[in-house]
């Protein structure tokens, strides 16, 4: 990563910058993600909350119901409601940035496709990216060693 990726909401009131490379990038095809985004999948960059710098604007949080029953807090621009990141399970220190809110979303392609059992049938997956029916069996399968160390530093 040569420069810190920046992003924001649809109206421009909220701007943020990622101060570090994400630990991992998931493309999730689960029914919750489809329902919550109104799309076929969501691409999330997992990063420490401390590595997101809000340059202007603010977020408001709402809790979404999930099929798993675990809390899913979604952070939206206070002005226009664009979802910019999520906290699955109220971890507080680790969030899932919506890659589509980056100025250059193509800079963070998925490292893995998850919950492909509910993938829409017309969505094709690249042959060179790992894909799992549900979730990958172990973090070490996908996460690089330095990302695992960062995750452990957060207490997970």
| Residue 28, pLDDT above cutoff 60 | yes
d(CA 11, CA 22): 25
Residue 89 pLDDT = 86
Q: What is the pLDDT of residues 121-155, one digit of tens each?
A: 999 999 999 999 999 999 999 999 999 999 999 99
pTM score of the predicted model = 0.93
Q: Which two tokens stand for residue 138?
A: 């172990």
d(CA 35, CA 42): 10
Q: Which two tokens stand for residue 141?
A: 């399968």
- How many C-beta atoms lie closer than 10 Å to residue 29's C-beta? 23
Q: Which two tokens stand for residue 25?
A: 């990038």
Quote the CATH superfamily of domain 6-153: glutathione-dependent formaldehyde- activating enzyme (gfa) (3.90.1590.10)
- How many C-beta atoms lie closer than 10 Å to residue 25's C-beta? 21
Q: How confident is the model at residue 1 (pLDDT cuts 50, 70, 90)?
A: low
d(CA 105, CA 98): 9
Residue 57 pLDDT = 98
Domain ranges of the chain: 6-153
- How many C-beta atoms lie closer than 10 Å to residue 63's C-beta? 11
d(CA 68, CA 52): 27
Q: How confident is the model at residue 2 (pLDDT cuts 50, 70, 90)?
A: low
Pair type for strands 24-28 and 112-114: parallel
Q: What is the pLDDT of residues 43-74, one digit of tens each?
A: 999 999 999 999 999 999 999 887 777 888 99
d(CA 71, CA 26): 19
d(CA 105, CA 154): 26
Residue 3 pLDDT = 75
Q: What is the pLDDT of residues 62-110, one digit of tens each?
A: 998 877 778 889 999 999 999 999 998 898 899 999 999 999 999 999 9
Residue 74 pLDDT = 95
């Amino acid at each position: 990563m040569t420069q810190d990726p920046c992003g924001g909401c649809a109206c421009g009131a909220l701007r943020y910058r990622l101060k570090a490379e994400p630990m991992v990038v998931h493309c999730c095809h689960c029914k919750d993600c489809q329902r919550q985004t109104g799309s076929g999948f969501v691409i999330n960059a997992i990063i420490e909350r401390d590595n997101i710098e809000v340059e202007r604007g603010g977020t408001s949080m709402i809790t979404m119901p999930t099929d798993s029953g675990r809390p899913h807090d979604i952070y939206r621009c206070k002005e226009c409601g664009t979802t910019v990141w999520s906290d699955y399970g109220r971890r507080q220190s680790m969030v899932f940035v919506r890659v589509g809110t980056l100025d250059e979303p193509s800079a963070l392609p998925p490292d893995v496709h998850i919950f492909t059992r509910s993938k829409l049938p017309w969505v094709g997956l690249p042959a060179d990216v790992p894909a799992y029916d549900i979730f990958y069996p172990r973090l070490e399968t996908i996460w690089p060693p330095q990302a695992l160390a960062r995750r452990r530093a957060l207490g997970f």
